[in-house]
Amino acid sequence: MAMTNPSTASANSMRHLLIAVIGAVVFHALEAVSVVVPSTNCYALDNSSRIYDFSSWIGYPFQYDGKEADLVVRFCKDVETRSQAGYVDFGRFDKLNQFVAASGNFKFVQQYYNGDLTSCEQSFDKLGRTAQVSIICGSCPNGQCKGGLGCICDVTYESNCSALVELAIPCEKPGARVFEGYTVGFHPRSWEIVYNGMTQLGFEKAHSEFSLSTEQTHVALYMTAVASQSHLVQKPTIKVFPEQGLEIKLSGSGATGGAPTTLSPTILTIDWTCTEARDVPYEVEVTIPIENYDPILFTLAKTCEYGQSEGVDATSGWAIFGILSCIFIVLSTLFCVGGFVYKTRVENQHGLDALPGMTILAACLETVSGAGHSNIRPADVNDPFISQASWENHPARPQGTTRSRDNRYGTI
């Protein structure tokens, strides 16, 4: 039987362990990939919904030498002509302009608006000179580009107010495939979290300044999609970092993978309970798989300043108090009804006097109001002065006497 070298066995174990660690890291990295909106508006989606980010190209100049004037394209900034007479602006690029996919020999098309108005005052709808830049990924058909980062192949002036530019550049490697038209927000018609299939900045990872408070025990997320592709949305999954300390339950139509539309959004309700307090917010990673597309992935931050187990006990205490209150109300009602029936049929009392406790209540009211302290004799019932105030002292007249005589004789 051959003996195994201990050093060889140790090396194999280390190799297997290293492969397992690298595999876990790569798997986690692939699993955590999300389509995040670029930090600038200099990006576009091609015809296959792949995202191209040209943020590093912003402001890069491409110059075309013309007969009367040179044309310069400052990528994702503006288009202008330069001559002895000066600079003429043919439009500026901003977030309201279009950067979309094209067809044929061109990959993308950029629109530049709001150029100079001189001699173009009639173009009030476009607010001045305009330019359209058609982008070719590669080189010009005539082979004009000689190295570098591309060049302008051709420039055509439709008029003094409009220019068509063909630009060839080595396009960036395409990114993830975006599920266009998909939105996620905190309200039925909002998209703070995901817009047009891309996770918005602030939700690509956990941010303590955007974290949800401890008192917010649940949050509802509204999801919409284009009706023709809504069936591609699958059941979402959730991960919490760290795994212990925050209990989460999913509910709603979105939790079962329902098909969302713009007219009837699906709701994903996240119920979370802080079981352990933590100085740093918990990271709640939500992944929504999309068939044939890269998944929608965003992260919510949840603050847990204190454990909420006490809140559960307090809730159960309030429930017990409510049950006892209901029992007391039912027993009181039965007692009042039974007492009323007894006094009506046995003691022959009617009206309010038949209600249980009315005798005690009347005595208490009489005591509080001060009535009953004046002693009324039976003979004084018909006395017309009995209703006057007690401090009005009227002299008592002997019964059966009238007015005293004015003249008395024989006495002093």
pLDDT in tens, 305-323: 998 764 444 456 677 888 8
What is the pLDDT at residue 316? 61
**Mean of pLDDT over the chain:** 80
How do residues 212-269 score in pLDDT, each as one tens digit? 998 999 999 999 999 999 999 999 999 999 999 999 999 999 999 899 999 999 999 9
Residue 191: partners with Cβ closer than 8 Å, 6 or more residues away: 183, 184, 185, 200
Is pLDDT at 389 greater than 50 in this prediction?
A: no
Is pLDDT at 83 greater than 60 in this prediction?
A: yes
What is the pLDDT at residue 404? 45
Is pLDDT at 289 greater than 90 in this prediction?
A: yes
Which tokens is 132 given?
A: 């359209």
Query: What is the average pLDDT across 56-84?
Result: 92
In the chain, the percentage of residues whose pLDDT exceeds 70 is 77
Domains plus CATH for the chain? 55-169 (2.70.130.10), 183-307 (2.60.40.2310), 324-363 (no CATH)
Strand partners, 163: 131, 157
pTM given for the model: 0.66
Alpha-carbon torsion angle 52, 53, 59, 61, nearest 10: -30
Is pLDDT at 23 greater than 70 in this prediction?
A: no
Is pLDDT at 16 greater than 90 in this prediction?
A: no
Measured CA to CA, the distance from residue 167 to residue 105 in angstroms comes to: 11
The CA–CA distances, whole Å, from 4 to 7, 8, 12, 15, 19 equal 9, 7, 11, 16, 22
Most confidently predicted of 132-136, 332-336, 386-390: 132-136
Query: What is the average pLDDT across 329-344?
Result: 81
The CA–CA distances, whole Å, from 307 to 300, 350, 366, 388 equal 19, 59, 55, 70
Measured CA to CA, the distance from residue 267 to residue 186 in angstroms comes to: 10
Residue 51: partners with Cβ closer than 8 Å, 6 or more residues away: 35, 38, 43, 44, 45, 174, 175, 176, 177, 178, 198
Is pLDDT at 66 greater than 70 in this prediction?
A: yes
What single letter denotes the amino acid at residue 268? L
Confidence of residue 27 (pLDDT cuts 50, 70, 90): very low
What is the pLDDT at residue 76? 94
What is the pLDDT at residue 109? 95
Is pLDDT at 400 greater than 80 in this prediction?
A: no
> Which of 213, 182, 187 has the alpha carbon at shortest distance from 200?
182
Is pLDDT at 181 greater than 50 in this prediction?
A: yes
Of residues 137 and 411, which shows the higher confidence score? 137
What is the pLDDT at residue 125? 66
What is the pLDDT at residue 370? 67
Is pLDDT at 72 greater than 80 in this prediction?
A: yes
Weakest mean pLDDT among 59-73, 142-156, 169-183, 286-300 = 142-156
